[in-house]
Amino acid sequence: MLAELKIWLLLLSFLVVSSNMQLHVQAVPQVPCFFIFGDSLVDNGNNNGLPTKAVSNYPPYGIDLPQGPTGRFSNGLTMVDILAQILGFDKYIPPFANLASSDILLGVNYASAAAGIREESGSHLGVRISLDKQLVNHGITFSRITESLGSKDSATQHLNKCLYYVGMGSNDYINNYYMPQNYSTSQNYTSEQYAEALITQYGNQIKTLHSYGARKVAIFGVGPIGCTPFAITSHGTNGSLCVDTINLDAQLFNKKLVSLVDQLNKELTDAKFIYVDILGIGSGDPSLAGFKVANVGCCPVDEIGQCICSKTPCQNRSEYTFWDSFHPTEAANKISAARSYQNFLKTDTYPMDISHLIKL
Ligand SMILES: *[C@@H]1O[C@H](CO)[C@@H](O)[C@H](O)[C@H]1NC(C)=O
Ligand SMILES: *[C@@H]1O[C@H](CO)[C@@H](O)[C@H](O)[C@H]1NC(C)=O
Ligand SMILES: *[C@@H]1O[C@H](CO)[C@@H](O)[C@H](O)[C@H]1NC(C)=O
Ligand SMILES: *[C@@H]1O[C@H](CO)[C@@H](O)[C@H](O)[C@H]1NC(C)=O
């Protein structure tokens, strides 16, 4: 297992290096376009102008990026930035908020920190772009592409060829279900009922995305939200590495998500949906992948778990899995991106990885 992992890490370096090389030779990307629906794990600036505490366009966020803070919740690149590199794009997919200056035919990033499947999730932090609103924004993109290509048919044909990243659900737990003082969901639903309600709503939202022409959709499950430094400090782990009860809820949600993927593949036979097991990818022994610190973040944090403005973070960022109390470092994002693109363990993705999805 250890030897296998070392081999894989070599492959990973190769993958990342070769994708950097593609930035220079400007190879044609493996897909013509890439659209992103999500939360703070992949937000790249959509919250910057919004009245909310869930913003990150201040130092030390972005400390390892040439352009500095951008609204990414990491020291460096997010998972979708790295996926865009691996796919051969010569720039990152721009945020919807900056659309005026960008080429929408290549894709748009709609992700918004604190956003959820449910409309109200994250509302105690301020304004956020829920998944329903992200889909409304995609409708605007659809109209613009229709205008640009001349007809709805050509817009749909173009959108058929793109890859779609969809990753929601964390905030429906962290910034909703686990905050009984601000949200009533935990009074109204058991864990089982809540997961079921979320998946029903999510399924309808993904069908809306399909109605706009999405045919290659990678759905990322909820990650190990019981292992975040915030969960560990606020709940305690009772001797475990993580807060097991929280990870059990994430597992419950993900299990139902896998069934949803099966159901979507059965119902919508002109499209393919895959599941990415971010919970599994983020579990296991982090030291095997070269990490030394997994239970605390790299930057000093405020009461909501975000980096305190201009406080000096740790030096060895590649040795930390967490950057602040919720969000992975670029080093951890690289591993998630690489394993979603190309399986390391068979269980990383279902029923296939992104490299196979885009070849269909
Ligand atoms: C959330 O709950 C806390 C604790 O009861 C309260 O102080 C705070 O005002 C609430 N926030 C909102 C936006 O309702
Ligand atoms: C919970 O139930 C109460 C009473 O039926 C209702 O007023 C409230 O809107 C419900 N909350 C949620 C989040 O469904
Ligand atoms: C803590 O762990 C012990 C031993 O596994 C278990 O008996 C106990 O119920 C746990 N307590 C909580 C609060 O989870
Ligand atoms: C960074 O890592 C190096 C090598 O592992 C170690 O010698 C050094 O003490 C670390 N620095 C900090 C600030 O942790």
pLDDT tens sequence across 88-123: 999 999 999 987 656 899 999 999 999 999 999 999
Classified by CATH at the fold level, domain 2-357 comes out as: Rossmann fold (3.40.50)
The verdict on the CB of residue 238 being under 6 Å from ligand 3 is yes
The pLDDT tens digits along the chain (360 residues) read: 344 444 444 445 445 544 444 444 457 999 999 999 999 999 999 999 999 999 999 999 999 999 999 999 999 999 999 999 999 999 999 999 987 656 899 999 999 999 999 999 999 999 999 999 999 999 999 999 999 999 999 999 999 999 999 999 999 999 999 999 999 999 999 999 999 999 999 999 999 999 999 999 999 999 999 999 999 999 999 999 999 999 999 999 999 999 999 999 999 999 999 999 999 999 888 888 899 999 999 999 999 999 999 999 999 999 999 999 999 999 999 999 999 999 999 999 999 999 999 999
330-350 pLDDT, tens digit each: 999 999 999 999 999 999 999
| Closest CA to ligand 3's atom 14 | 238
Locate the domains of the chain by residue range. 2-357
Query: Closest-lying ligand to the alpha carbon of 236?
Result: 3
User: Longest C-alpha distance within the chain, in Å?
Assistant: 61
The verdict on the CB of residue 101 being under 6 Å from ligand 3 is no
Sheet holding 349-350, edge to edge: 34-38, 163-167, 216-220, 272-276, 349-350
Active site residues: 40, 324, 327
3-state secondary structure (DSSP) of residue 266: helix
For the chain, how big is the Rg over CA atoms in Å? 19
Q: Which amino acid is at 90?
A: D
The verdict on the CB of residue 154 being under 6 Å from ligand 1 is no
Query: Closest-lying ligand to the alpha carbon of 124?
Result: 1
pTM of the model: 0.92
The verdict on the CB of residue 53 being under 6 Å from ligand 1 is no
Out of 315, 317, 320, give the residue to mutate to test ligand 4, the one with the largest number of ligand atoms within 8 Å of its CB.
315
The verdict on the CB of residue 188 being under 6 Å from ligand 2 is yes
| Closest CA to ligand 4's atom 9 | 316
Ligand 1 atom, smallest distance to 123 CA: 13
| Closest CA to ligand 3's atom 8 | 238
Residue 61 C-alpha to ligand 4 middle, in angstroms? 21
Ligand 4 atom, smallest distance to 292 CA: 5
CA distance 310 to 266: 50
Residue 181 C-alpha to ligand 1 middle, in angstroms? 6
Q: Each residue of 191-215: b (16+ CB within 10 Å) or e?
A: eeebbebbbebbbebbeebbebbbb
